[in-house]
Structure 1
Amino acid sequence: MEENEPDPRFVLANERTFLTWISTSLALSAGGIAIAVVPEGVFVPWVRTLLAVVLVLLSAVAAGSAYPRWRHIDRALRQDRALPPPALAPMFGYGVAAVAVLALLLILLAR
């Protein structure tokens, strides 16, 4: 398939999105580490570990999927094809929401 040079604005927007996935990955990782070191009196240890593991796993998936997603979008832009759907977005949205709701419930119940 023939490749064209896409509008630089779209290429740069794709790069910004890639960098946003990387910074999101760093934030998820930092959140997981922060929860892992919360004092034992705040959360039950196995719940604290579960929340930390979920956040760090989401971090790994975000970082691991950032470049392939950038590459697929770049290829679609250059071949003037439809952009691929954001397949992982629901997993991140629901995953972070689940961790937040569980943490909120545990904080409220601990008081």
Structure 2
Amino acid sequence: MSGIEPNTSREPRSGFSARLLQGGIEPDPRFTLANERTFLAWIRTSLALLAGGVAVEAFMADLFGPELRKTLAVLLLVMALFVSGGSFFRWVNVERAMRRKEPLPLPWIAPLLAAGGVLVAAMMVTFVLPRRN
């Protein structure tokens, strides 16, 4: 073993973290850090969606009409909102499950992101393919 064991002798958490994590045993720090890296990956995805929404609104005026441009931009921004907010709840739920030695929850953010991505891509293909240069 690598010498890193769960710290079960640590004093119980108190205050906000105790209410947030709702008890359990401290997991191996490697798992907690991996969960944190996953959270940060979701945040990066959210920032990319946010940048995409701003870019569509700012730079696609010659490619799309105002209604379609606004629809695409708002869809990307709403996806960014849900992914960003959902990533926190995902992090907390995984952390709680690890502390209770329960199965990890399924990521509801993934199907949301996939469905939104399909919708945005389909809208863009539908309006870009027929366009003449």
Specify if TM > 0.5.
yes
Per-residue displacement from partner, 1:15-61 (whole Å, max 9, x unpaired)?
01100111111000000000011243311210111000000000011
Residue matched to 1:3: 24
Unaligned runs of 5+ in 2: 1-21
Matches of 1:67 and 1:43, distance apart in 2? 34
Q: Which of the numbers 22, 32, 49 marks the counterpart of 1:28? A: 49
The answer on 1:105 being equivalent to 2:126 is yes
| Aligned partner of residue 37 in structure 1, secondary structure | helix
- Could you tell me how far 1:2 is from its partner in structure 2? 6.2
1:78 and 1:23, CA in 2 relative to 1: closer, same or farther beyond 3 A?
same
Number of equivalences: 111
> What pairs up with 1:52-67 in 2 under 5 angstroms?
52-67=73-88
Higher relative contact order (Cα pairs below 8 Å, separated by 6+ residues): 1
TM-score, structure 2 as length reference: 0.77
The answer on 1:50 being equivalent to 2:71 is yes
Unaligned runs of 5+ in 1: none
- Percent identical pairs in the alignment equals 43
Residue type of the partner of 1:76?
A
Residue type of the partner of 2:32?
V
Matches of 1:87 and 1:99, distance apart in 2? 19
Matches of 2:23 and 2:79, distance apart in 1? 36
Per-residue displacement from partner, 1:64-86 (whole Å, max 9, x unpaired)?
11111111110110111111111
1:6 and 1:46, CA in 2 relative to 1: closer, same or farther beyond 3 A?
same
Q: Which of the numbers 65, 82, 96 marks the counterpart of 1:75? A: 96
Which of 1 and 2 has greater Rg? Answer: 2
1:75 and 1:46, CA in 2 relative to 1: closer, same or farther beyond 3 A?
same
